[in-house]
Amino acid sequence: MRPSRKFLTVFGIIGCALWLWSCQTATPTIVVSAPTPNPSPSFTSMSPSSSVAGGASFNLAITGVNFVPGATVLWNGSSRTTTFVNSTQLTAAISATDIAAGGVFPVTVSNPSPGGGVSAAIIYTLDNPTPILTTISPSNAEAGGAGFTLTVTGSDFVPTSVVQWSGSNHPTTFVSGTQLTATIPASDIAVGAAIAVGVSNPGPAGGSSGTQTFMVTTPPSGTFSLSPAGRSAGAQAFNLTVNGTNFSQLSSVLWNGSPRVTTLASSTQLVALITAADVANGGTAQVSVSTPGVGTSPSLNFAINGSGVVLNDLVPFRVAAGSAAFSLVLNGAGFTSASTVRWNGSNLPTTFVSSTQLTAAIPASDLVAPGFSQVTVTDSGGGGSSTDTWPFLIGPPGMARFAYVLDTSNNVLGFSIDSASGGLTRLSGSPFPTATSTTGASLTIDRLGRFLYVSVYAANSIFAFSIDSSTGGLTSVPGSPFPTLTGPSSIAEDPTGRFIYVAFSVRSGIAPLGIAVYTVNSSTGALTVVGGSPFLGTTTGGLPSALTIGPSGRYLYAASPTVSLGTYALNSGAFGAPAFSAGLSSPFIFGVVVDPTESYICEYQFQMGIDSDAFLTLVPARGGAKSAFWVLNSAFSVALHPSGKFVYAGNSAGTQTQAYTIDLAAKTLTAVLGSPFTGGTPSIEPTGQFLYSLSANTIITYTIDPNTGFLTAVAAPPVVASNAQGTIVFSP
């Protein structure tokens, strides 16, 4: 049956109502958009990118891309206060604490979430400075004492600085950039020693400071003795040797309670400088040893005899081998009719002239062979013996046979000398090599013609050669080269050939070194350093740069480019008291030459690059008034004629040699007729017959007129001497 229309209508109305109700009660849908993520930062550079540790705080500028507000700079992984400038630049506050100690520190940039992230790192390099050490406190302690805290003062210290004790790191406390403290245990000062104390800063950069010396002292003890035990009144300055035990570099010899210049020869020996004024009058001096922080030893008596024999001078002090018999004049004090001159320990026929002079007959038989003899005076009448032994040189006969000069590579150029013309001929095997260096060298030769020595500055060595008496060829001495201290700049040998003296210059950062003494093995030429070397300074506190030993071997003249000339007494190789101070008041004293009788010296002064500022100065060899002479076109090098009558000066350009006659009584220099002559650095053959002038890679040979000093070039052409430099030395 079909439903009725009415039924369908009702049903439709109900369905529509239900549909409308369902629409009104359904849950609504809300749509929310997601935020845009932050980009990942890219870090490309920073400024600065490095600095030295210990600086002040600063702002670090960061450059890159994709920076956003809220971005943070990370220093070694830790965030720092950051200012957003724009999307390509940030600044970060870096504190002084961050840069107190050196290291390498990664720097990054972090963008916050969402997204964001951390950039790749760029390294900030913080270099440690090189520390500077100025003082240590305390600077000494007695051996066997307790451990202590060492205070180190200087600059450029960092928190990671370490104090080094004899090269070993010690526990260190950083106090400030100028002070550290270090713990020194008792075991480090158990025995006496000189300890080098320094400071080391680690890398990056950093480095080690210079050192200060800490003295671990041992009280002097045991039985003391003096050598000599006495001296005659009126004697010259001398070295007093004090023997004992437990001496150190702080120990000082006291003379009647006043300190004297003291050198530590060893832990059992000190050498003190006793001046002529100390023994001027008879009596007894009290000698003791004082060590700071330790105490003073008991005193010993030193007798000064009021009427003793004193030997001050020999005239002459050298002759040639084969010379005829002659009368030797001895000057001194305290001589009597009972005084006797002794020659190598044997008595000689002696004539008493006065209390200040004796003469002795020297037979020809004592002058046969080259060498040296020892001269003393004894007095059987109670005056005792002279406390000084004077060497008398018996030189080789005739003129020199060989000549040697350095080249710019410090090789030795050797030549034979024609006895008739003075001409030079290159030796077989020349040049003879030393060090492969072009920096600084000086040479000297044994006056008996046995050995030649070359000090090379850059090599810190002395090269020793034996000389073939037949050919002049050089052969390296066994053990050569002999090591030296830093920077040997000048070398000289005493006339007897027993000792070598070496001056050391100052390099940047190197402590002053002074003069070292070496003994010479008479058979082999080998060198052995003398205890107590180096002996420091000149009379005015400067450092010697050029050494000359007088013909008598009794005095060493030390020139300095910064202070006056110093003159030192020598006694059997010992480096003795300053005898007197001489020299120009201005600097640049390059060296001295000494006349044959050692009655005067001739200084030469040259200011580099100023040829007009050059002088020769005549100075009495035992002190006194001096006379300075301006020299045309400089005095870069000087040679003195063996007669003492003429002096020759070469200029710095190596183009002229000037000649002057010397009037010692009037203290004047007069130019030789025809001067200047062609050439440069002058060197004179020991007999005075020939002068050799080094100029422009050639050696010009001149004969010397013995009456006027005039130079005449020999007919032979100049000898080629490529790259030769300095003074020529001669061998018999």
Q: Given this structure, which CATH class describes domain 42-127?
A: mainly beta
Cα 125–chain centre separation = 37
Q: Domain locations in the chain?
A: 42-127, 132-217, 221-305, 310-395, 439-582, 587-722
**How far, in Å, CA of 657 to CA of 655, rounded?**
7
Residue with tokens 């003398």: 530
Mean pLDDT estimate for the chain? 78
Please state the rounded mean pLDDT for residues 393-410.
81
What pLDDT band is residue 508 in, cutting at 50, 70 and 90? very low
What pLDDT band is residue 335 in, cutting at 50, 70 and 90? confident
Q: Given this structure, which CATH class describes domain 587-722?
A: mainly beta
pLDDT per position as a tens digit, 679-722? 888 988 888 889 998 887 888 899 999 888 899 988 777 787 77
> What number does CATH give the domain 439-582?
2.130.10.10
Residue 537 Ramachandran class (φ > 0 left, ψ -120 to 50 alpha, else beta): left
pLDDT of residue 407: 83
pLDDT of residue 112: 92
Please report the beta strands in 326-481, taking only residues with DSSP state E, as ranges in sequence order.
326-333, 339-343, 346-347, 350-354, 357-362, 371-379, 384-385, 390-395, 402-407, 412-417, 424-426, 441-445, 451-456, 461-467, 474-476
What pLDDT band is residue 297 in, cutting at 50, 70 and 90? confident
pTM here is: 0.56
Q: How far is CA 5 from CA 1, 9, 592, in A?
A: 12, 6, 152
**Nearest partner of 638 among 556, 548, 570, 721, judged by Cα:** 548
What percent of the chain lies above the pLDDT cut of 90? 22
pLDDT of residue 161: 92
- Among 71-85, 301-315, 360-374, 704-718, which is the least confidently predicted range? 301-315
Whether the pLDDT of residue 437 is over 80: the answer is no
Whether the pLDDT of residue 409 is over 90: the answer is no
pLDDT of residue 48: 92
Do the domains at 310-395 and 587-722 have one common CATH topology?
A: no
Q: Given this structure, which CATH class describes domain 310-395?
A: mainly beta
Q: Given this structure, which CATH class describes domain 132-217?
A: mainly beta
pLDDT per position as a tens digit, 23-80? 555 555 555 566 789 899 998 999 998 888 888 899 999 999 999 998 999 999 999 9
Tell me which of 2.60.40.10, 3.40.50.300, 3.40.1190.20, 3.30.70.1350 is the CATH number of domain 221-305: 2.60.40.10
**How far, in Å, CA of 133 to CA of 144, rounded?**
26
pLDDT of residue 178: 92
